[in-house]
Amino acid sequence: MAAHRDSAVGERGFGEGEKAAKATKKTPVRKTPEKTTPVKTTPAKTPARKTPAAGRKPESRTALVRRARRINRELAEVYPYAHPELDFQNPFQLVVATVLSAQTTDLRVNQTTPGLFAKYPTPEDLAAADPEVVEEILRPCGFFRAKTKSVIGLSKALVEEFDGEVPGRLEDLVKLPGVGRKTAFVVLGNAFGRPGITVDTHFQRLVRRWRWTEETEPDKIEAAVGTLFPKSEWTMLSHHVIFHGRRICHARKPACGACPIAPLCPAYGEGETDPEKAAKLLKYEKGGFPGQRLNPPQAYLDAGGRPAPPLGAG
């Protein structure tokens, strides 16, 4: 993998004005360095600003598909226990938790929803809830007034339009208050086993770093990435990418020196490349810290992951 090269190239000293004045016709050759030396410094400055991926030949469609699928396979080996990091026991709990996860962490949601679902275990219960009481429960999640309106609203819609059951179709889910395509695919993939790509902020960042697509809009990213993989892999692909984005390939300081797919990454070098320094940037279980869930799957625990602390602990 290419590393950044030092761009400092010292300019060679030239004769001062006095020396130039003393030059005679017998030594015209001394003027040659004045013409050639600046030409030599120009190419030395050009590659210094290149990224590790610069200079590579354009990647063919076939090569892109192969690289993308290899990245997914290697991430599957690193995160064999990848899973949705929101605690849930049924589709209703998952759709509510996913709505609450907007602009906050899954950990914070997982620390908050036990109290919510203990008091309002069904859509019927939450639909009839006092908004002020729900607001106090959801306050730790941030934007609690808007989120209260959304979860009560979607609960009412479930009761009035779907007999209190979460629908298993994309076109129905996106009609619920606060539910967009991202939330819908989380629910479809993890509560109903129907493949979908979850384009959250981590997914968007990583697939662009890996040059799987140059699209910036979530629906276009979803469509572009979806063509690189069999539909059956979409849900687990989302988990692998999101796990990696949370643990290693961070937004501001990616831990490039600790990245298992560094040889496949066109953006290698944007973050810390020193292995020891990079190791200190790792988060969650890869850095010795617990994951996001209070009640994670057994496979996660068997692989060495640890549950998150309950609200107010530590």
Q: Which residues are catalytic?
A: 182, 200
**Cα–Cα nearest to 283, from 257, 246, 235:** 246
When computed from its CA atoms, the radius of gyration of the chain, rounded to whole angstroms, is 27
Dihedral of alpha carbons 73, 81, 94, 92, sign: positive
Q: Residue type for 144, please?
A: F
CA distance 58 to 268: 17
How many CB atoms neighbour CB 88 within 10 A? 22
CA angle 34/37/42 to nearest 5° reads 130
Q: How far from each other are the two terminal CA atoms of the chain, in whole angstroms?
A: 41
Please check whether residue 181 is in contact with residue 162, taking contact to mean a CB–CB distance below 8 angstroms: no
Amino acid 84 reads: P
Asked whether the beta carbons of 218 and 181 are under 8 A apart, the reply is yes
Q: Is the separation of the CB atoms in 184 and 173 below 8 Å?
A: yes
Q: What is the DSSP string of 95-121?
A: HHHHHHTTTS-HHHHHHHHHHHHHH--
CA 14 to chain centre: 52
